[in-house]
């Protein structure tokens, strides 16, 4: 039953995200909210949080996701370094590299900030586990988007 529920939620999430056609998720609050709620539900199923701290965890996590979304929106238009950069000039590649590096640094600062916030309601090992679960969900969604883009 648990697997069926997860599969259904993941399918609905991916179906919603695929409709975006590579547009910024920030412009689609319903999709962003669905992704956040899916991540939050999956995380709460797989990590240990004292019942007294669940509401506090929910608020910290929502703030964390909104800050990450804001950071991502500031750096939209970046090209993956694994992408074929043959269509870009050297100055464009350099600018892209510098902006990606800035984004990565800022992301690390946000993660560090929220590590200490999360530490108020859960153990450090559970925080690392939470980050891993979050990455796995995002990877699944991204892979599904790539697969669906190929079939178009």
Mean pLDDT of 52-56: 93
Cα radius of gyration (the chain): 17
Mean pLDDT of the chain: 81
Residues in the chain, total: 152
| Residue-level pLDDT at 23 | 42
Question: Which pLDDT band, with edges at 50, 70 and 90, does 144 fall under?
Answer: confident
| Residue-level pLDDT at 4 | 41
Prediction pTM value: 0.72
**Block residue for tokens 């991502």:** 72
- Is the alpha carbon torsion for 70, 106, 63, 81 positive or negative? positive
| Residue-level pLDDT at 15 | 43
The b-or-e profile of 34-53 (16+ CB within 10 A means b, else e) is: bbbebbbebbbeebebeeee
| Residue-level pLDDT at 13 | 45
Res. 61: pLDDT tops 50 = yes
Most confident of 1-10, 82-91, 121-130: 121-130
């Amino acid at each position: 039953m648990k697997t069926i529920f997860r599969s259904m939620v993941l399918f609905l999430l991916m179906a919603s995200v695929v409709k975006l056609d590579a547009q910024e998720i920030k412009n689609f609050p319903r999709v962003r909210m669905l992704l956040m709620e899916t991540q939050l539900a999956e995380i709460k199923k797989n990590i240990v949080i004292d019942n007294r701290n669940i509401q506090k965890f929910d608020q910290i996590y929502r703030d964390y996701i909104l800050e990450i979304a804001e950071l991502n929106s500031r750096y939209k238009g970046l090209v993956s370094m694994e992408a074929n950069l043959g269509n870009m000039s050297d100055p464009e590649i350099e600018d892209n590299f510098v902006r990606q590096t800035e984004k990565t640094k800022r992301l690390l600062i946000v993660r560090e900030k929220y590590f200490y916030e999360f530490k108020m309601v859960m153990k450090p090992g559970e925080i690392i586990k939470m980050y891993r679960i979050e990455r796995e969900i995002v990877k699944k969604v991204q892979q599904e988007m790539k697969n669906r883009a190929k079939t178009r």
